[in-house]
A = this chain, B = another copy of it.
Amino acid sequence: MADTAITAAILVIGDEILSGRTKDKNIGYIADYLTNLGIDLREVRVVPDEEAEIVAAVNALRSRYTYLFTTGGIGPTHDDITADSVAKALEVGIDHDPRAVAMMQERYAPGELNEARMRMARIPFGADLIENPISKAPGFIVQNVIVMAGVPSIMQAMLDAAAPRLKGGARMIVETIDAHGLAEGNYASELTIIDKEHPLVSIGSYPSFTGKGFRNQIVVRGKDADAVALAAENVRSLVARLTGDGAPA
């Protein structure tokens, strides 16, 4: 399974996330999106608006995963240094890209396209542009790095634009089994055995607090439909037996 997996990482760039000023809404969205594409999100990092930090994270992540998605830092202000940092990480040049300038000219009158806004047309050499239907300044794909805006509505539009250019993987098949009031501690030992018996699937147990108490769900995930179905059946039998036995919640 591992040798053919399409993998990904996300790099969120921005002081405002680390200070708590802005609450990230992109990680969860991209995670769902990639799962639907059959791409395994394997790691996420958040780093500040500092070139050395961005360069180091870009290089660590792009070398390890099929794709690296970045969000944030592609606006017109001095703290928007993602494009230049990615170019530096990849050791490619960067300059105003005529295609990006043309996109910007759709939005800005000649007098409005000042030096700061022209920063948004700085694109690493060799990149493909990602259209931005909302505010025009494009994202880009360079090698295996997909560079997107941080504003969620723009990021989402860019992800839609980029997705057709990505290799999809085998879709993950997921079965969720409600533990029907069982506490994790009541099924954990036997769940461990089921997990070991089914090496093609991963099994997780997820407590959540609903306000009325804890709710546990057991999730079976894998790319082999038969393996997932069999493991899920074993989990369902376990839950039925334990609830039937009147085990304490």
Contacts and interface: CB of A to CB of B under 8 A. Distances in A.
A110 interface: no
Interface string A187-199: 1110110011000
A94 interface: no
Question: In terms of DSSP, what is the predominant structure of the interface of chain A?
Answer: mixed
A21 interface: yes
Contacts of A208: 22, 151
A24 B27 CA distance: 9
Contact of A116 (B16, B27, B189, B219): B189
A27 B46 contact: yes
Interface in A15-58: 15-24, 27-35, 40-49, 53
Interface stretch (A76-84, A122-130, A238-246): A76-84
B189 A115 contact: yes
A37 B29 CA distance: 30
Contact of A206 (B22, B172, B195): B22
A205 interface: yes
Interface residues of A, number: 73
Nearest to A19: B35
B219 A21 contact: yes
A66 B197 CA distance: 41
A164 interface: no
Across the A-B interface, give the 8 residue pairs with the lowest CB-CB distance, nearest first.
Answer: A116-B188, A20-B31, A20-B32, A44-B46, A117-B185, A78-B192, A23-B28, A77-B205
Interface of A: 12, 15-24, 27-35, 40-49, 53, 75-79, 108, 112, 114-117, 119-120, 135, 151-154, 172, 174, 184-189, 191-192, 195-196, 202-209, 214, 219, 221, 248
